[in-house]
Amino acid sequence: MTVRLSGRHVLLTGATGSLGRPLARELARRGARVTVVARGLGPLLELADEVRGHAVPADLTDLASLPDVVASAVAEHGPVDVLVHNAGVEAVGPFAHAGPGDVKRTVALNIAAPLELTRLVLPAMIARDSGSVVAMSSLSAVATFPGLSLYGATKAALSASMAGLRLELRGTRVRTLTVEIGPVASSMMDRIVEDPTSAAAFARARRTRLLRDLEPADVARSVVAAIEAGRPRLTLPRRAAPLAGLSHAPRAVVRAALTGVAHVTHAAPAVSVAPAASVAPAASMAPAASVARPAADGTTG
């Protein structure tokens, strides 16, 4: 089933990061109405103005603030049609060197926040029998590199949650997309190069031509195309897809043996659901940027 993005409401987290910005631009180029979420207010407002979207400044590690994030997005653009989990902590380095609070923050942003945001928007998607949940995971979810043990653990949990969600959504038109990507040109890669153990492992993978540095704009185009195509999984770089497939194959066999092909039946929720927002005919018709104003101290969460 293909997904039409023109006129659809996309909620994008981590919007001002190295991958978030090109994602927001590509979504807007396809005609989506974009709600961009990030911590820094200044860069967020600039991006919202560029893509003519709605800005919601928020610290997603504050799970109690997430209902307000969704409420602001829905108030501006209507029900969320596509939820893109792009925010994440890029934890790099030997786990023994992790500092106080590193585990809590990484788990909160990389897995707890995506789960909670999904919980908040999924019932309405099921009630409308339409929607997509997209998780920006990592190849470290299937083949963890030294120096990425904490990061890889959270990404593996994210991929696993999406696999389970996909099974639960059988029989509906709500789709999931798990994106498992390799190294992207970013500050995270700079830190990996600085860590000797991580750098050696990545250098070997590059020598075998299994990995190459990805350009954020190229990743964004591939991700948005995968959303529109209704694909359940995307591996980048594509040359790594066979190895990722080898990792997924045994689990697919076990999953089939344990779960069969039974569909999950979803009862309609007892609450009323607002109708979908009207569809804009083209990206140029999108409304001007808007912002959910933060607290008086300039931050939320």
The residue ranges of every structural domain in the chain are 9-258
> Known catalytic residues?
151
Quick: pLDDT tens for 230-273: 999 999 976 555 565 555 555 666 666 666 654 444 444 433 33
The token pair that represents 86 in the structure block: 């792009």
Report the distance separating Cα 85 and Cα 19, nearest Å: 11
3-class SS of residue 256: helix
Sheet holding 9-13, edge to edge: 233-236, 174-181, 131-138, 82-85, 9-13, 33-38, 54-57, 290-291
Report the distance separating Cα 163 and Cα 173, nearest Å: 16
DSSP letter, residue 213: P
Quick: pLDDT tens for 34-63: 999 999 999 999 999 999 999 999 999 999
The percentage of residues in the chain with a pLDDT greater than 70, rounded to a whole number, is 70
- Asked if residue 176 lies in contact with residue 234, where contact means CB atoms within 8 angstroms, the answer is no
Q: What is the DSSP pairing of strand 9-13 with strand 82-85?
A: parallel
Phi, psi angle pair for 79, to nearest 5°: -55, 145
Q: Return the CATH architecture of domain 9-258.
A: 3-Layer(aba) Sandwich (3.40)
pLDDT above 60 (res 287): no
- Asked if residue 180 lies in contact with residue 194, where contact means CB atoms within 8 angstroms, the answer is no
DSSP letter, residue 214: B
